[in-house]
A and B are shown apart, each in its own frame.
Chain A
Amino acid sequence: MGRFLVRRLGWFVVVAFSIVTLTFVISRVIPADPARLAAGLNAEPAQVEEVRRLMGLDQPLARQYVAYLRGLLRGDLGRSVQSRQPVLDDLRMFLPATIELVVAAFAVYVVLGVGLGVLWAAWPDSWAARAIHLLTVGGVAVPVFWAGLVLQLVLGTRLGWLPVAGRLSPDLAPPPTVTGLYTVDALLAGRWDVWVDAVRHLALPVAAAVFGVLSVATRLTRDSVAAELGREYVRTARSKGVPDGRVLVRHVLPNAFNPVLTMLGLQFGWLLANSILVEVVFSWPGIGLYAFTSFQTFDYNPIMAVTLVGTGTFFLVNTAVDLLYPLLDPRITSSHL
């Protein structure tokens, strides 16, 4: 297990290094002039040159690269041209919003996806199964951004049930920051009204994020559970008169869960990537929106940082999934990894 972690960490360093290099090269190829943007639209040429020097953009590319790596090792991600503050501060501000969104979406995704999948496999001829089938077929084909837009239009604007943008109503102050997740902080502060409001704001973005990927979890769970249900031991258990529910919960689900788990890890990455689109549609002030605006203004340092954070999270989740296997299935030990 320890060796596994060390190997994983080593691999992460390689990946991270490659990604930093790749993003660095790509971002410096972009035909824009961040110094000019930073200096302001009415800056004189001399002022622009001064800013360029201060930002280190007058240096040769190789030297800029080394300087960036050095900073990175010290935990310095540079400054954002747009916000004029260290990228680390920006991340601290935007990351909690994205974590809140993605974690909530992931939880809903797991519960709904697995739940519907089991339902489908267990009662394959019911109307519910047919509905779920339809949902999964349709779900994959719906673009995230459009799902968000339609949800906004119907549930937000037409019916007025749910808020369509932001994290909190303007008349509510955010709860005192502990974790940065409004739902958690509101509970810690004992503010029910804030909690309810935050959850209501989460509803549509989460729905939009989950809708498109839901079918993957549902189908895989169903296939996996259905395959288990067809096994000999299930028939035996049933013939012995063990109740269906008990067979399902005690025997089938634990066995069926492994492939589902791998897939969930991978899907987390998709949720993360799609959060850019969701955040843009719902003006959710997270790193997806931050990445989007940074791309629009060619703000190098945030782009690099967001890429790193995204990769890191993806990596972390998949490592966690790999570590979970042996716990769930005693046949696999960490030496297999």
Chain B
Amino acid sequence: MNGRRLRPADWAALLCLLVLGVVVAVPQWVAPRDPLALAMGDRLHPPSARYWLGTDEGGRDLFSRIVYGARYSVGMALAVVLAAAVVGSVYGVVAGYAGGVVDTVLMRVVDIFLAFPYLILAMAIASALGRGAASAVVALAVVWWPSFARMVRGQVLSVREHQYVEAARALGAPDALILFRHILPQCLPAVGARVTLDLGYAILALTGLSFLGLGVQNPTPEWGLMVATSRMFVFRAWWYAVMPGVAIVLTVLALTSAGQVLFPDPTRPRSLRRGGRSRRS
């Protein structure tokens, strides 16, 4: 990590990331209860020693539901960003490498997508595909890829002129080879950084979509959906609305912070990268 020293906050972010990884991979190790099992006697139970974060309308343990929910909220967001990264990168590489008219046309298409109000486009696609996890992921990926395409194209434009690419071309290497052997690898670090950073935003977008009812369906323990459902019980159970939201906030916070630790933005001076530490000269 460029030999930088990590601050406590950075360690905390990385730790959160680790915890998140465990929770997504093996929720059954963490969750004390079945996230789906009903316990009508304990419905809308406030947080207590027995139910750390309280229960919902079916007496289900909110902590367990939030733990299992990470699979959906984080997993689906990862799917969105990865799909967008793959599609966007290929698109951007082709546009940047081809240049000329092809590039212009391809980038104009990207501009059109970027001119679309993202939530409306996502809602339209998600409703068209029917409700469910897959349709929400596809809808957001369609909204997400253009920004990757634009970024990667920019990278390609700068890499294309490098001497070794010129050399490879002069040696008569086929385009595909140059693209995938020389240009694409050069873009990957930037794409990786972007994936980590965007993951948090994708979680926000996805939970928003589920909140509107366009995503996974009841009784899947997805965070946005839990917040949406909780609104019907908000007067009897404040914890029901609050806890899944806190999970979202902490996760997004951890992801964006960890993203900055793992992939520091090289264009920002170090003093600016770190909160209010810059000295006044």
Contacts and interface: CB of A to CB of B under 8 A. Distances in A.
A–B proximity contact (CB within 8 A): yes
B211 interface: yes
A48 interface: no
Given A26-B125, A30-B128, A273-B119, A124 B277 contact: yes
Contacts of B257: 137
B276 interface: yes
Contacts of B123: 276, 291-292, 295
Most buried by B among A30, A146, A212, A298: A146
B208 A145 contact: yes
A129 B253 CA distance: 19
A280 interface: yes
A143 B248 contact: yes
B253 A137 contact: yes
Interface in B84-137: 108, 111-112, 115-121, 123-125, 127-128, 130
Interface stretch (B17-25, B152-160, B234-242): B234-242
23 contacts: A15-B112, A19-B112, A124-B278, A124-B280, A125-B280, A140-B200, A140-B252, A140-B256, A141-B253, A142-B245, A143-B207, A143-B224, A145-B224, A145-B228, A146-B227, A149-B245, A153-B241, A272-B117, A273-B117, A277-B119, A303-B124, A307-B121, A310-B117
Given A140-B200, A141-B200, A280-B212, A315 B280 contact: no
Interface of A: 14-15, 18-19, 22-23, 26-27, 29-31, 120, 124-125, 129-130, 132-133, 137-138, 140-146, 149-150, 153, 157, 212, 223, 226-227, 229-230, 235, 269, 272-274, 276-277, 280, 291-292, 295-296, 298, 303, 306-307, 310-311, 314-315
A129 B228 CA distance: 35
Contact of B275 (A19, A133, A138): A133
A120 B128 CA distance: 45
Nearest to A136: B275
A280 B128 CA distance: 21
Contacts of B250: 141
Nearest to B126: A295
B280 A229 contact: yes
Contacts of B4: none
A274 B123 CA distance: 12
B272 interface: yes
Contacts of B268: 223
Contacts of A18: 112
A124 B112 CA distance: 40
Contact of A295 (B124, B211, B280): B124
B112 A274 contact: no
A145 B249 CA distance: 12
Nearest to A17: B112
Contacts of A306: 120
Given A26-B128, A277-B208, A141 B117 contact: no
B231 interface: yes
Contacts of A124: 276-280
B83 interface: no
Nearest to B129: A29
A27 B117 contact: no
Contact of A310 (B120, B200, B238): B120
